[in-house]
Structure 1
Amino acid sequence: MNIRECILELAKKTKGKIILTEGFDIRILKAAQMLTKDGIASVVLLAEDIKEVEKIALGAGVDLSGIEIIKIDINLLDKKKVEEFIDVRTKKGMTLQDALDLLKKPLYFSMMYLKSGKCDACVAGAVYDTADVLRASIHVVGVAECAKLVSSYFLMIPPDGHSIAKEPVLFADCGVNPYPQALDLKDIAVVTVENFQKLFPGRQANIAMLSFSTKGSANSKILSKVIEATELVKTHFAGYSDINVDGEFQFDAAVVQSVGKKKASGSSVAGNANILIFPDLNAGNIGYKIAERYGGFQALGPIIQGLALPVSDLSRGSSADDICLICAIMLLK
């Protein structure tokens, strides 16, 4: 069973329900059909105009049988949760009417639908910007009590026969934090490991803290945060036999065994990394897109971490299959 089949089978067992915010997008409609037809999840599509969605689906050859389609209706939401949201917003200077109007926007309504306990996860971002998805999710769903930072990861699935990567790897943070400092990088690494273990129970986690230097091969002030973060992550996971941490590493030293042995001999992570922590958003975002477009990897994400409930953003270049898999991953959280 390949990773795709494994994720879908695990998701089926949860018997979960997902709300998809952008019911007007053909990729979303196709993903909803896959999820429903294959028994992976129950799907709720949000639509401003149900007849228009049905028309789009008909034109695209999408069967909407078994899919629930709803319009924005405040009465569908938990009254207490709505009141709590309005109370917070008004205390921050928003009028009562403006707070209510906010909940009538698709992203905010979807997040509140999730918070109301009407579904198990929310997926959006096929059309909406990441910033909009994050803003709505933080305002409505909120940050998890144990989380110090909201971040994201990509599940990177290599193509068959890839010369280096034989199994999926995680890239973080490629979608949220532009300028993470050492403590931020540590927090990103810790929560990414937690998600790695949920996706791949029993698999050894090898965390590489990436930079343009390998073990002091370069000397620059901007390396200090990666070196510091590496030590913080090592300290956090000290004593964990199933988690290895090392850095700072250049990308090739982290993932190519022959290079890793040459540049960092004796490191258990060098050449074997399956969790790659990038030093900033520039590097992470560019890195995942290079792997996807030049390397043929399937890039699933950005999957948001650190929220109180399961929410995922989407790359606006996501395919229907990508969206289907991300929905399945959300149910595993």
Structure 2
Amino acid sequence: VCRCTYAAQWRSAAAAGVRRRIVLPEATDPRTLQAAGRSLDFCDVTLVCRRAELQDVRSLAKELRVPLEQMELTSVEDHSSFEHLKQQLADRRAGKKLPDCLQPLHFANMLVAAGLADGHVAGALHSSGDVVRSAFQIVGLQPGVSKVSSFFVMMPPDKDPLVFADCAVMVNPTAAELAEMADMAAVNYQSLFPDSEPRVALLSFSTKGSAKDPAVDKVIEAWELLKLRRPELICDGELQLDTALVPSVAASKAPGSPVAGKANILIFPNLESANIGYKLVQRLGNSKAVGPVLMGLQRPCNDLSRGCSTEDIEGVMVFTALQASQS
């Protein structure tokens, strides 16, 4: 199935049933405005900015021919629920320091936490660290989840998509965190590709004991923990990348593996390898990268690369609407 077919299927799924409201706190960014205008067929949109930015947003929308009249545009200062939401956040944080609630990024998460929006997308103008930190502090983690993590959907031309995790958030996850990440990635894969079975490869520079190192031991332990968490999940580790993806290499290096040569979810051992890996596949392999999509939060709040395109933002908005429908 080509990547345009998957994109059309996800969009149709997001448009079906109850419409979801996605809040965008980077309304002064032209890519964000254009993505908002192109997403009205599958979601409702709230644009958030500061009061002093309202006229700039209106002028930019007029220049770009974005139909603002079909969206909600609000300034943080003028929102009717600002003081109430601020007090709610103070109560939840129980004496901890409050983030600056006047910042659109934080206020967008306040809307999501209160159920006034179903999801939030940002990162065109903010770093991943800022986006994740705000979501963690304001929206919070799902019960039983230890850390926020993320995945990209990598869509090579004329090949089946792959999920890469974690390319954006966790710098050096422990074995337990890798297992948790892999578990959540498999759940998300199943929701995005219901006709395909998740097959998880925990990656390393070693395949089945070909090298000895504490870094390899961590991946082996993660695999063992993942099997305990999800006995029914098809998974294997530790595997080198070529073993995970290339059947002929898999037959030589990991014969009998249920995953080798046909993995569709790649769990990288750390952020360094994952971030470099996804960008190599994106830039040299001409693959479309959708994400990073955050995992483990109570409600959907998703990140973008600051180098994102309008189409990238639109894609993450689709995923956010799908997550909201399934949560």
Question: Shorter-chain TM-score: what band?
Answer: over 0.9
Query: Cα offset for 1:252?
Result: 0.8
Deviations 1:283-317 (A, max 9, x none): 11111111111111111111111011110010111
Structure 1 counterpart of 2:239, which letter?
F
2:265 is the counterpart of 1:275: yes
CA distance in 2, matches of 1:115, 1:78: 13
Deviations 1:48-76 (A, max 9, x none): 22221121223334343412211113753
CA distance in 1, matches of 2:262, 2:36: 36
- Segments of structure 2 that go 5 or more residues without pairing to the other structure are none
CA distance in 1, matches of 2:274, 2:254: 22
CA distance in 2, matches of 1:290, 1:230: 25
* Matched residue, 2:318: 328
Structure 2 counterpart of 1:22, which letter?
E
Runs of 4+ in 1 over 4 A off after TM superposition: 78-81
Aligned counterpart in structure 2 of residue 168 of structure 1, from 149, 158, 161: 161
- Segments of structure 1 that go 5 or more residues without pairing to the other structure are 161-165
* Matched residue, 2:241: 251
SS at match of 1:44: strand
CA distance in 1, matches of 2:318, 2:74: 21
Aligned counterpart in structure 2 of residue 209 of structure 1, from 202, 209, 217: 202
Query: Cα offset for 1:221?
Result: 2.1
- 8 Å contact 1:16–1:120 — kept in the other structure? yes
- 8 Å contact 2:162–2:265 — kept in the other structure? yes
Relative distance call for 1:198 and 1:79 in structure 2 (3 A) is farther
Aligned counterpart in structure 2 of residue 56 of structure 1, from 53, 60, 64: 60
Deviations 1:216-250 (A, max 9, x none): 11122221000111111122222x2xx31011111
- 8 Å contact 2:183–2:226 — kept in the other structure? yes
CA distance in 2, matches of 1:31, 1:269: 37
TM-score where L is the length of structure 1: 0.91
- 8 Å contact 2:140–2:297 — kept in the other structure? yes
* Matched residue, 1:305: 295
SS at match of 1:76: coil
- In the alignment of these two chains, the number of paired residues is 317
* Matched residue, 1:40: 42
2:136 is the counterpart of 1:115: no
- 8 Å contact 1:21–1:46 — kept in the other structure? yes
SS at match of 1:84: helix
The percent of aligned pairs where both chains have the same amino acid is 38
Q: For 1:1-333, list aligned pairs within 5 A.
A: 2-13=5-16, 14-36=18-40, 39-48=41-50, 49-73=53-77, 75-77=79-81, 81-89=85-93, 91-92=95-96, 94=97, 99=98, 102-160=100-158, 166-238=159-231, 240=232, 243-333=233-323
Query: Cα offset for 1:47?
Result: 2.3
CA distance in 2, matches of 1:24, 1:75: 18
CA distance in 1, matches of 2:287, 2:92: 42
Deviations 1:153-208 (A, max 9, x none): 11111123xxxxx2111100111111111101001101111111111124211000
Deviations 1:20-72 (A, max 9, x none): 11001111011011101xx1111111122222112122333434341221111
Relative distance call for 1:219 and 1:226 in structure 2 (3 A) is same
CA distance in 2, matches of 1:233, 1:79: 44
Query: Cα offset for 1:85?
Result: 1.5
CA distance in 2, matches of 1:310, 1:291: 26
Structure 2 counterpart of 1:87, which letter?
D
- 8 Å contact 1:78–1:116 — kept in the other structure? no
Query: Cα offset for 1:113?
Result: 1.1
Structure 2 counterpart of 1:187, which letter?
E
CA distance in 1, matches of 2:163, 2:197: 13
CA distance in 2, matches of 1:17, 1:50: 20
- 8 Å contact 1:19–1:119 — kept in the other structure? yes
